[in-house]
Structures are given as C-alpha cells and as structure tokens.
Amino acid sequence: MLELDFNITIVGLGLIGGSFAMALKELNPKNLWAIDIDKEAIKTAEKMGIIDKGYTDPETPLKKSDIVIICIYPNLTVKFIKDNMKNFKSGAIITDTAGIKEKLIEEIYTSIREDVDFIGGHPMAGRESKGLGYATKDIFNNANYLITPTDKNKEENIKRIEELVKAIGFKSIVSLNPSHHDEIIAFTSHLPHIMASALIISDNRSDTKFFVAGSYRDATRVAKINADLWTELIMDNRDNTLEQIEVFENSIANFKRAIMNNDKENLKLLFRKGSQKREELI
C-alpha cells in the first residue's frame, strides 16, 4: 500500500471531490481535509468520516497541505488558485480535475508561485447526477486518468500524483500535453455529450419511452447533464469541439449517402468497419 505521509486537501465536495475523499481516506493519509463553500456538505462529509476536517475558509488547510486536489468547475479552479496563491504551502503540489486543460493551465501559469507545482489532471469518471450524495469511490475503478504535465513540473511531483491516482483505482494513467488533451477530449467526451443531447432534443413525441430499446437509452444517457459545467467545458474548448462535430457530420454523411443511393455493399462495409473498431475498444 502507498505510504501517504502528507496532508491532502480536497477543494469542492461534489461528486468528484466526494469520491476522491472516500477513496483517499482508505489510504490513510496523515490528514485529509476539505474546503467547500457549503457548510452542509462539510458537515455531511465529516459525519461520513470521509474527511478529517472541513473548512469554508481555505487558508488554514492550504498552509499545511502537501497536495491540493481541486474538484470544482474549470473557471472556479483558476479563480481559486489565483485567490489563494499566498496560502499554498511552499513545495505544495496542486492538481485539478477539470475536463479541459490548455486554457486553464495557461491562466494558472500567469500567476503561479515558483515554489508550488501545478499539474493538470483529468479523472475520466463521472455520473449523470451531481453532488456529494452521488459520490462513490467506485467511479474511479478501472477508469482512465489523464495527466497533462508541462516542463515546469518536477518529475517527482508528477510521479507522486500518478502513484496517488493509481492507488485509488484508476486503471490507466496517460500523460499528454494540455493542447493534445483538449483535442482528443473534444472527440471522446465533448462530442458524445453533444450527440446525446442533440438526439434527445430532436424527439418531438411524448410517448417515446414505449418505442425504445437499449440503443436509444445508451445513445441519450449522458443527455442528463450538468448544463452549467458542460457549457463551460465546451466553450473553453470551442475550436476543437467544432472541428470534431464536423468530422462526425462528415462520417454520418457517408452513411446517408449509402442509404440514399441504396448502396447496400457500402452500408454493410461501413457497419463492418465500425463493428471492428468497437471490438478493438474493449
């Protein structure tokens, strides 16, 4: 088991922060603290025993924390770090959990202190519902973790974060640069969320549920979305997202053309190609 002889603070006790708290608590860190503006969330987390202590004022825990894991919206992440720049312990590692990285890291780097290390992180885990009430360490099991270090980060700090997320259940940890991250995520995450929403919005029936099977349910699952968060994520990754929507539009146009031309062989080929690619994904 990983030796966690340092103090960790989680910022934001929502779905992700709460899940981090649950998972980290089992690793017995020296201290596991949390910061949240919501006193109720702190009280609940303390009662559940998933944190040692919670704070609404960041100063006290930050001054003593070796690792700070920020689990709030991307723009708030930037604001939190800037507002608390004087509070971080010298040598602290700060990481985040936002689904976009390039713009966020650039903004943080405009004002980061030399003696603290910000390393971008993206746990590819979530749920359709938000809040501590839905938190569970199970969402990390076998999930992917993306880490986006820059040449400002110290090797040993990167390694520490990698060990930490491995210890709480993530299966694969891939390191890539922030702009590459945002490009890929536009395809694997932002596009599927938009597709799910666009599909269900295009439904003008009231009795659809009697005519669906797994395909429609799965295709629309993530349409149940945190609209504020996803608007922020996508607007901070506009160019990549627009590009990926267009790539997808061209792909569906190929299917449309095959159907329009009654070109069975081509439609079959497209389905076969997709089927093979889906098998490779597993």
Smallest separation (angstroms) from its own copies to the CB of 235: 6
Smallest separation (angstroms) from its own copies to the CB of 191: 7
Please, what is the Cα angle at 11 between 10 and 15, to 5 degrees? 85
DSSP state of 188: I
Q: What share of the chain is helix, strand, coil (3-state, %, to 5)?
A: 55, 15, 30
Taking the C-alpha atoms of residue 225 and residue 227, their distance in angstroms, rounded to an integer, is 6
Query: Which of 85, 184 has the CB closer to its own copies?
Result: 184
Query: Which of 48, 184 has the CB closer to its own copies?
Result: 184
Task: Sort 60 into a burial class: Cβ within 10 Å, 0-12 / 13-18 / 19+.
Answer: middle
User: Do 185 and 99 touch, CB atoms closer than 8 A?
Assistant: yes
Smallest separation (angstroms) from its own copies to the CB of 223: 4
Beta-strand (E) ranges in 16-92? 31-35, 53-55, 67-70
Query: Which of 61, 99 has the CB closer to its own copies?
Result: 99
Buried b (16+ CB within 10 A) or exposed e, 232-266: bbbebbeebbeebbeeeeeeeeeeeebeeeeeeee
Query: Which of 14, 29 has the CB closer to its own copies?
Result: 14
Greatest Cα-to-Cα distance within the chain, rounded to the nearest angstrom: 68
Smallest separation (angstroms) from its own copies to the CB of 233: 11
Smallest separation (angstroms) from its own copies to the CB of 210: 5
Query: Which of 111, 129 has the CB closer to its own copies?
Result: 129
Query: Which of 44, 237 has the CB closer to its own copies?
Result: 237
Smallest separation (angstroms) from its own copies to the CB of 211: 5
